Amino acid sequence: MVRCKSNTRFLNIKSLVLLTQTDTTVGFISQNNSKLSNIKSRPESKPFIKVYNSLSLIKSRVPKSKKKLVRRAKKTTFIIKNKAFRVDSSYKNSQILRDLNWHYSTSANEIGKNFNRDFCEHKTDIIIEDKYGLHELSSSKLLKINDYKIRSLR
């Protein structure tokens, strides 16, 4: 089910903020990182995780020795050269999300607080929800990798 505040039919989906169940927890997603920064009340200089729907979009960025690890990982965020990314192709039930090759992602909550549906509904443009609804789960694993080593940060 998709709920939208606007009467227009998603004219520019790239500038909207969506609330949806991600592979790990409830999240705000958008291709506009400044809108996400506003919602989360955090400096725009602090980067967001970039989520790709296919590994082929980032193959050149991943060290050759770590490609198998990235390809097989589930619910894992990787940091390479201070840029965080995750591959998630679990958005098969939403055409809107399938059309986005990548997006920025952050948890849907106020800083230091748990998921609050009222807060999220006021801050988002579109809510994408399936029959299971929106529910808070654990965050993704966070691994920093380079050509030689892997370091777990979370």
Angle at 18 between CA 22 and CA 108, to 5 degrees: 60
Instruction: Give yes or no for residue 1 having a pLDDT over 60.
Output: no
Neighbours of 80 (CB within 10 A): 18
Task: Determine the longest span between alpha carbons in the chain, in angstroms.
Answer: 52
Q: Is 146 left (phi over 0), alpha (psi -120 to 50) or beta?
A: beta
Instruction: Give yes or no for residue 6 having a pLDDT over 60.
Output: no
Instruction: Give yes or no for residue 117 having a pLDDT over 60.
Output: yes
Q: What are phi and psi of 126, to 5 degrees?
A: -135, 135
Domain range 2-152, CATH architecture: Alpha-Beta Complex (3.90)
Over residues 21-78, the pLDDT tens digits come to 887 788 898 998 899 999 988 888 888 999 888 888 887 788 888 888 888 888 889 9
Residues in the chain: 154
